[in-house]
Amino acid sequence: MTNLITAMGLKKLEEEYHHLWRVERPKVVQGVSDAAAEGDRSENAEYIYGKKRLREIDRKLKHLGGRLKVLRVAAPPANPGTVSFGCWVTYEDEDGCKRCYQLVGPDEIDVGEGRISIDSPVGKALLHKKLDDEVIIRRPSGELTVYITDISATRP
């Protein structure tokens, strides 16, 4: 797994960590404490759900804490000549369908926003390619041939 992240991606992970630690966890702990004070815990749904939610939060905090320790911020080159981490790359397939993606680390994947992992099959295929290169993307549904039409440090 790649340990690279954009500055924006790191900020989002840090904000999520701090929100869980400073807001969510204390609220759930208080709810569990209040539910425990009501008596019989074996049939107390609020207590049972609260304990479960607390375990989920702690698991997420442990994961985020571990990732935040090893992540390295990498900025895209100002004028990229080849596809690299953080770059936005636009390609066109044989049918004229264009797609634009930013290659990011696995911690900030958001396909709806156009962010795909450099570790994904598409990311690996595009990495280190140049403008006008023909690229073969191997997918479970078969190979797709695309042509790189733009490489940019910022979203086009």
How many domains in the chain? 2
Q: Which of 89, 93, 102, 99 is nearest to 144 (CA)?
A: 93
* Dihedral sign computed on CA atoms, order 7, 66, 24, 26: negative
Asked whether residue 82 is domain-assigned, the answer is: no
Q: Report residue 24 as tokens.
A: 């969510």
Host domain of residue 66: 4-73
How many percent of the chain have pLDDT more than 70? 100
For residue 37 the two structure tokens come to: 């004070």
Same domain membership, residue 101 and residue 64: no
For the entire predicted model, the pTM comes to: 0.83
Please check the confidence at residue 45 and state whether its pLDDT lies above 90. no
CATH number at residue 42: 1.10.287.180
pLDDT at position 25, please? 97
User: Is there a single domain that holds both residue 56 and residue 94?
Assistant: no
Q: Is residue 80 part of a domain?
A: no
Angle made by CA atoms 77, 81, 84, in degrees to the nearest 5: 55
